[in-house]
Amino acid sequence: MLLVLLRAAALGAEVKSTSKRVTLSREIESILRSSEAKRGHWGIEVVRLSDGKILYTRNAEQLYLPASNMKLFTTAAALERLGPDFRFRTTVEAEAPPDAAGRVENLFLVGRGDPTLGYQVIPNPVQLHGEGPPDADLQEFARQLTEHGVRVIAGNLIVDETYFIDEPFGRGWEESNLQFGYASPVTALAFNDNALLMRSTPGESVGAWAQVDLQPFPDYYTLINRILTSAKGTRKQIHIGRKPGSRRLEVWGQIAFGAEPDEDSIAVDDPPRWAAELFRKALEVRGVTLKGSIEVRGITRAEASAPNFVPPNPSRVVLGKHLSAPLADDIRTINKFSHNLHVEMLLRTLGKELKGRGSSNAGIEVLEEFVKDIGIEDNEAIFSDGSGLSRHSIIAPRAIIKLLRYMAKSPRSPVYVDSLPVAGEDGTLQDRFERTSARGKIHAKTGTIEHVNALSGYMDLPSGERLAFSILGNEHPMRAHEGKQVVDRLAVTIYEQFGGRQKIKRRKRTVVTQPSPVGRG
């Protein structure tokens, strides 16, 4: 009799589970058919972490553009291979200590992949880095030099970029993106996110020129402003143009009278030289004279591909140094705010530290070995960059689920999960899921590029059960915000199907002002 009851209970549970899957499948089909999402290609998978049971799957073995869901792989590999306590090191060096007169021949500013020098322009130039001067890190280098007695640089101020191979942009990045901060050049010495914040404010009357400012260094570009103040309620249209290698930035279009200022991030044209120019000014303030000029030394891809290439390892004296915060802090910045520059620098750092070559190809080799080690099959994930800005990276939702399952069991799981945006509360999910039962219960990475929307991560159910899920939508004709709305409806439907519908409590919201848009999440 007991055996019969147990079998009946098991059968009942199985029927109930099957019923849930059928209901969920119908609701997902309804959501996708009710909008222009029906024209797209959608891959979805949901897994219960406690036993690995697949609760729902749709086209999960097919390949999709992941957009910024790509960052899930790069940051996971970095946590596992470098460790959460890894720190970036930037130094100022000379061939020999200063002589009795305080002279050194050449001075070297050596970048080793630290993405955190200067202000953080993304998401906000003050929010992450405090209220101090934006060149505080360079001022500190100048202070350390004078403590070592340096008074004169007889030769040149040289930026040593040899930690990375010179490839400032990812394979497959679109040229139209390159003038914006979310596609800033990738350099071994980065400063201020290799970007400036552009703020456009309506004029005092309709027809007046808008006020356009670049922060926190307003003089980097020669700014040609042709943005007019349009009638109240008209649509904002702001365009930006700059030729490669030019310091002339043209902006034009319109912004409505009385509208809130528009903010966007603008890529710096030559970040290492810019950092050196600012460093020279900091040295002058400290009374250190540069007799020569500024020089940038790097390694080209052609040089690095030579059969007899040996990475340079000069013997020099360290006169100043800066250590970054632990890598775990930057992983949080990358995933919370979908930071392309930081993760691309991290990809190259993986290549340098583990393969001896600071290139994207070497970093991708590390990623490929990592995903193979965790059970992702060949051709389930094909990588072209570290950020997902490339349209050459393609990944199956099932591969993302395998990654999420692995990281859920990793000793680094708390750091990894904490780095993900929380629904309705922070990061790129701060303004999403606010009035849903899933608020605060979803920890997930967003992804948005043209005709692509993605969301993958974890769901915490009221029962205490945790699910891993991945939603990838490609080739749909919707605008970015429309695609996000569809993804959010899918995610809430999945959450409520397995977690139950909860009564929504209104919460007071603390507003954190962020530039928008500053990147593609």
Active site residue 384: no
Token readout for 435 is 């009035």
User: What whole-number distance in Å separates Cα of residue 388 and Cα of residue 394?
Assistant: 9
151 — phi, psi (to 5°)?
A: -125, -30
Q: What is the 3-state secondary structure of 313-365?
A: CCCCEEEEEEECCCHHHHHHHHHHHCCHHHHHHHHHHHHHHHHCCCCHHHHHH
Active site residue 71: yes
User: What whole-number distance in Å separates Cα of residue 420 and Cα of residue 400?
Assistant: 14
266 — phi, psi (to 5°)?
A: -120, 130
Residue 358 in contact with residue 386, Cβ under 8 Å?
no
The separation between the first and the last C-alpha atoms of the chain, rounded to the nearest angstrom, is: 57
Closest C-alpha to 189, from 247, 117, 246, 245: 117
User: What whole-number distance in Å separates Cα of residue 200 and Cα of residue 84?
Assistant: 38
Active site residue 437: no
Choosing from 184, 230, 265, 338, the catalytic residue is: 338
One-character DSSP codes across 53-67: -EEEEESTTS-B--G
3-class DSSP assignment, residue 33: helix
CA angle 488, 490, 495 (to 5 degrees): 95
User: What whole-number distance in Å separates Cα of residue 197 and Cα of residue 179?
Assistant: 12
Backbone region of residue 424 per phi and psi (left: phi > 0; alpha: psi in -120 to 50; beta: other values): left
Helix spans in 134-199 (H): 136-147
Give the C-alpha distances (Å, rounded to integers) separating 312 from 121, 161, 287, 338: 32, 11, 32, 33
Choosing from 71, 336, 445, 484, the catalytic residue is: 71
CA 419, chain centre distance (Å):
12
Describe the crossing of helices 271-285 and 136-147 by its angle, rounded to 10 degrees: 50
User: What whole-number distance in Å separates Cα of residue 356 and Cα of residue 378?
Assistant: 25
CA dihedral 379, 381, 384, 388 (to 10 degrees): 150
3-class DSSP assignment, residue 121: coil
Helix spans in 374-479 (H): 397-409, 413-418
One-character DSSP codes across 279-299: HHHHHHHTT-EE-S-EEEEEE
- How large is the C-alpha radius of gyration of the chain? 25
Residue 321 pairs in a beta bridge with: 91
Choosing from 68, 393, 456, 470, the catalytic residue is: 68
Catalytic residues: 68, 71, 338
